[in-house]
């Protein structure tokens, strides 16, 4: 925390100096006596502490080496790095075929989006990633962030669909790959989060009608598998719409995902709300804060930071669950990968494909996980009970 | 100090809080039975009584943290009803300090103080911060303004809580056992602040078992038992010759240690 930033401008200079002294220049960090002792000591303590430890270490080390060596032989030593056709790879069956990935990765990342227009999903993906990264900074958490996302979504919409500014129109049926996965998960979660907060608050409401509505929604949505919701959205919903009215399949999937995520997130958030002591509500009431102010300034900020780990857990789960849209024929990252495997010219490189897809998913999920750890630490620095 | 003069002066001053035949039940359990109490502007009332006698319930009814079922509660001329606007209006005039401090742990001390003035009173931020710093100086912890409540001692936290309530410029202050959760060596620093506040003429109802505080500050001491006000008298009278047997028993218990 920068002290100057948070100090009221109106303070007298001597007050300011006192405050800065009291808030404390960062204390000099003194190493604990003894120190950590370097890697050799660490290994002796943690890996070879006793005879039993040593045996386990040696055995596990051997297994790891064996498996690791096998993978290394396959992925590096025996791999085919460049090849014009699949035949070169097939001749070298004991090694990975990275030439295949060089050839097919663009298809997996973009799906069937028209070749000449691929710069558009590229920009959209980069834009979404950039917005996600810049949202990570807590100093950005104000109305500007919301405005940025609104503009970002509008730009993404225009770029993906086209049809204006001389961009050729691209229907959602042709969208595919990483942008689809990103748009589905980010838009659905962004829509679900505020909905989830309202549901969680509603479920704790004193008003029976509101409470029943929220409980009913949550239990209903949570009680059915995501797949059946997706199928209902894609097959059943059109039956109920008046003749001539169609809603895009992609949008229907988005709505289904948002509702599903909202029900799950609502329960996570409710857990946080329940952990806030009654005294916090009473103190806010006693100060004359309205329900809205109390919720917004006192209860939610505390409740949400309590549930960061389960929230991120749910986020990660949903990011991966977007791959279920293959059921209703939407071409996300995983589906694009599967059809790459089936390409007659390059059939049979499933290992490489799934390794690649796993790596892409992992990068996103691991970043989310690391960010949540950072956020928890950062928030706890100031918020010590 | 002279209780007699204080009492005489008070008779002329307007009524700040009036409880008339207040009754409250928790289910079948009768917590408050026909409670009658008048507190005049500038008067300091100390409430004592055994655990579970309804002291907290009574003062929490004054700012509607608890709802009473029958009788009238009139605060600063306004009768408490279910009307949300009215309740908020009363809460703006009545500050409360809790046994467990109940500071907002995610906000700095300064933010704890300025939140309500800025958002409820619509005070400009700078003005609210000036007021907050002034009050923090009064409770003698201006140097803690940028810390978080979790970084302060219990006594400091309770003084912040008092300053937070004062930041709304209340006409009346309610204290619910403000020193019971404190280590003994911190009790005095909080009581000193409360005594100062009392000397400035604040109207106060204070639930406490600090009988020294009651002696030196209170205009009236109220003894409650089983949901009733058993006895109410000026402190000299109250401690010297309590009228009811229950009061005598209670006093002998708490004064013996
Ligand atoms: N929410 C509630 N539901 C049911 N009973 C309650 C509730 N709150 C308090 N009570 C009961 O009402 C009685 C009075 O409680 P109150 O908190 O007012 O007592 P107190 O005089 O403040 O006691 P203490 O000195 O322990 O704080 C107690 O017997 C308590 O068990
Ligand atoms: Mg109590």
Q: pLDDT tens across B62-120, in order?
A: 999 999 999 999 998 888 887 878 888 899 999 999 999 999 999 999 999 999 999 99
Q: How far is CA B94 from the centre of its chain?
A: 9
Q: Which two tokens stand for residue B169?
A: 């410029």
Nearest one of A338, A342, A368, A160 to A254, comparing CA atoms: A160
Residue B114 is predicted with a pLDDT of 95
H/E stretch holding A331 reads: strand A331-332
**pLDDT values of chain A reduced to their tens digit, one per residue, 385 residues:** 444 444 455 555 555 555 555 554 444 555 555 556 677 788 888 788 788 888 888 899 999 999 998 888 777 777 777 777 767 777 777 777 777 777 777 887 887 788 878 888 888 888 888 888 887 777 777 788 888 888 888 888 888 877 788 778 877 777 878 888 888 888 888 889 899 999 999 998 888 999 999 999 999 998 888 888 888 887 877 777 777 777 778 888 888 889 899 999 999 999 999 999 999 999 999 999 999 999 999 999 899 888 888 888 888 888 888 888 888 878 888 888 888 778 777 777 777 788 888 888 898 889 888 888 888 887 777 655 4
CB–CB contact A280 B104 (8 Å): yes
Cβ atoms < 10 Å from Cβ of A98: 20
Task: Return the bridge partners of B175, or none.
Answer: B97, B206
Confidence of residue B37 (pLDDT cuts 50, 70, 90): very high
Residue A23 is predicted with a pLDDT of 52
The answer to whether the CB of A332 falls within 8 A of the CB of A181 is yes
Residues whose CB is less than 8 angstroms from the CB of residue B113 and which lie 6 or more positions away in sequence, other chains included: B128, B131, B132, B135, B136, B160, B163, B164, B167
Tell me: pLDDT of B45 over 50.
yes
Query: Which residue's CA lies nearest to atom 7 of ligand 1?
Result: B26
CA distance linking residue B9 with residue A328, whole number of Å: 83
CB–CB contact B65 A384 (8 Å): no
Higher pLDDT, A354 or B257: A354
- Average pLDDT of span B8-20: 81
Residues whose CB is less than 8 angstroms from the CB of residue B127 and which lie 6 or more positions away in sequence, other chains included: B117
A375 touching chain B per CB within 8 A: no
B26 lines ligand 1 (CB under 6 A): yes
Residue A19 is predicted with a pLDDT of 57
CB–CB contact B106 A302 (8 Å): yes
Give φ, ψ of A225 to 5 degrees: -70, 150
CB–CB contact A285 B65 (8 Å): yes
Confidence of residue B228 (pLDDT cuts 50, 70, 90): very high
Q: Which of B102, B115, B145 sits opposite A297 (nearest CB)?
A: B115
Residues whose CB is less than 8 angstroms from the CB of residue B129 and which lie 6 or more positions away in sequence, other chains included: A8, A10, A11, B110, B114
The answer to whether the CB of B59 falls within 8 A of the CB of B30 is no
B31 lines ligand 1 (CB under 6 A): yes
Tell me: pLDDT of B204 over 90.
yes
| Pick among B75, B116, B172 to test the A interface (most A CBs inside 10 A) | B116
| Pick among B102, B107, B156, B178 to test the A interface (most A CBs inside 10 A) | B102
H/E stretch holding B129 reads: helix B125-138
Looking at chain B, list the stretches that DSSP marks H as alpha helix, in order from N- to C-terminal side. 3-12, 55-62, 84-93, 109-119, 125-138, 154-166, 184-199, 211-217, 235-240, 245-255
CA distance linking residue A5 with residue A281, whole number of Å: 29
Q: Which residue has the tokens 């500014």?
A: A165
Compute the nearest-CA separation of A149 from chain B (Å): 26
CB–CB contact B91 A286 (8 Å): yes
Q: Which of B88, B100, B125 sits opposite A290 (nearest CB)?
A: B88
For chain A, the distance separating the N- and C-terminal CA atoms, rounded to the nearest angstrom, is: 18
CA distance linking residue A175 with residue A171, whole number of Å: 7
CB–CB contact A383 B126 (8 Å): no
Residues whose CB is less than 8 angstroms from the CB of residue A371 and which lie 6 or more positions away in sequence, other chains included: A136, A312
Residue B103 is predicted with a pLDDT of 95
Tell me: pLDDT of B256 over 80.
no
H/E stretch holding B52 reads: none
Pocket test for ligand 1, best of B27, B31, B33, B208 (most atoms within 8 A of CB): B31
A43 touching chain B per CB within 8 A: no
Q: Which domains does chain A have, with CATH numbers?
A: 101-113+170-380 (1.10.3720.10)
Give the rounded percent of residues in chain B with a pLDDT score beyond 70: 96
Residue B10 is predicted with a pLDDT of 72
Q: What is the DSSP letter of A29?
A: P
Q: Which two tokens stand for residue A362?
A: 């992992």
B54 lines ligand 1 (CB under 6 A): yes
CA distance linking residue A147 with residue B200, whole number of Å: 49
Query: Which residue's CA lies nearest to atom 26 of ligand 1?
Result: B51
Q: Which residues of A touch B147 (CB under 8 A)?
A: 22-23
Residue B55 is predicted with a pLDDT of 94
Tell me: pLDDT of B5 over 50.
no
Give φ, ψ of A324 to 5 degrees: -70, -10
Compute the nearest-CA separation of B168 from chain A (Å): 8
ipTM computed for the complex: 0.92
């Amino acid at each position: 925390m920068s002290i100057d930033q948070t100090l009221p401008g109106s303070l007298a200079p001597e007050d300011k100096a006192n405050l800065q002294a009291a808030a404390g220049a960062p204390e000099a960090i003194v190493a604990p006596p003894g120190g950590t002792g370097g890697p050799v000591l660490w290994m002796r303590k943690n890996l070879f502490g006793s005879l039993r430890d040593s045996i386990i270490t040696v055995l596990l080390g051997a297994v790891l080496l064996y498996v690791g060596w096998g993978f290394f032989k396959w992925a590096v030593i025996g791999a085919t790095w460049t090849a014009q056709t699949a035949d070169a790879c097939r001749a070298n069956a004991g090694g990975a075929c990275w030439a295949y990935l060089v050839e097919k990765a663009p298809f997996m990342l973009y799906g069937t989006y028209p070749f000449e227009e691929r710069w558009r999903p590229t920009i959209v993906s980069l834009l979404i990633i950039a917005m996600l990264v810049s949202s990570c900074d807590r100093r950005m958490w104000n109305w500007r962030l919301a405005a940025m996302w609104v503009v970002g979504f509008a730009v993404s919409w225009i770029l993906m669909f086209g049809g204006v500014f001389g961009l050729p129109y691209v229907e959602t049926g042709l969208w595919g790959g990483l942008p689809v996965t990103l748009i589905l998960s980010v838009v659905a979660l962004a829509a679900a989060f505020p909905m989830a907060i309202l549901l969680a608050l509603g479920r704790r409401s004193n008003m029976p009608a509101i409470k029943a509505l929220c409980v009913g929604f949550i239990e209903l949505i949570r009680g059915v598998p995501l797949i059946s919701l997706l199928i209902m959205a894609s097959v059943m919903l059109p039956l109920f719409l008046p003749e001539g009215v169609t809603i895009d399949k992609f949008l229907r999937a988005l709505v289904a995902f948002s509702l599903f995520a909202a029900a799950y997130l609502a329960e996570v958030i409710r857990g946080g709300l329940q952990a806030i002591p009654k005294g916090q509500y009473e103190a806010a009431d006693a100060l004359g804060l309205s329900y809205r102010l109390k919720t917004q300034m006192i209860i939610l900020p505390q409740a949400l930071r309590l549930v960061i780990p389960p929230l991120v857990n749910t986020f990660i789960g949903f990011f991966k669950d977007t791959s279920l849209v293959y059921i209703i024929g939407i071409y996300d990252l995983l589906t694009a990968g599967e059809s790459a495997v089936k390409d007659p010219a390059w059939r049979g490189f499933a290992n490489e494909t799934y390794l690649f897809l796993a790596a892409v998913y992992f990068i996103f999920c691991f970043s989310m996980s690391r960010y949540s750890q950072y956020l928890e630490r950062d928030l706890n620095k100031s918020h010590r009970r | 100090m002279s209780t007699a003069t204080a009492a005489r002066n008070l008779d002329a001053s307007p009524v700040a809080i009036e409880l008339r035949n207040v009754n409250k039940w928790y289910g079948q359990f009768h917590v408050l039975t026909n409670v009658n109490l008048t507190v005049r502007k500038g008067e300091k009332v100390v409430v004592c009584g055994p655990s579970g006698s309804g002291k907290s319930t009574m003062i929490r009814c004054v700012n509607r943290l608890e709802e009473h079922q029958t009788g009238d509660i009139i605060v600063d001329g306004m009768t408490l009803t279910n009307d949300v606007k009215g309740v908020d209006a009363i809460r703006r005039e009545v500050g409360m300090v809790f046994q467990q401090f109940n500071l907002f742990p995610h906000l700095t001390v300064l933010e704890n103080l300025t939140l309500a003035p800025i958002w409820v009173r619509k005070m400009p931020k700078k003005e609210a911060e000036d007021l907050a710093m002034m009050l923090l100086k009064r409770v003698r912890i201006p140097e803690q303004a940028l810390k978080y409540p979790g970084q302060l001692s219990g006594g400091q936290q309770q003084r912040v809580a008092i300053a937070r309530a004062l930041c709304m410029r209340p006409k009346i202050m309610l204290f619910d056992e403000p020193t019971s959760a404190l280590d003994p060596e911190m009790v005095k620093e909080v009581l000193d602040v409360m005594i100062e506040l009392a000397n400035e003429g604040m109207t106060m109802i204070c639930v406490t078992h600090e009988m020294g505080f009651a002696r030196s500050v209170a205009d009236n001491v109220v003894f409650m038992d089983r949901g009733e006000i058993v006895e109410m008298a000026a402190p000299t009278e109250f401690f010297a010759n309590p009228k009811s047997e229950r009061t005598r028993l209670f006093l002998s218990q708490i004064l013996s240690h």
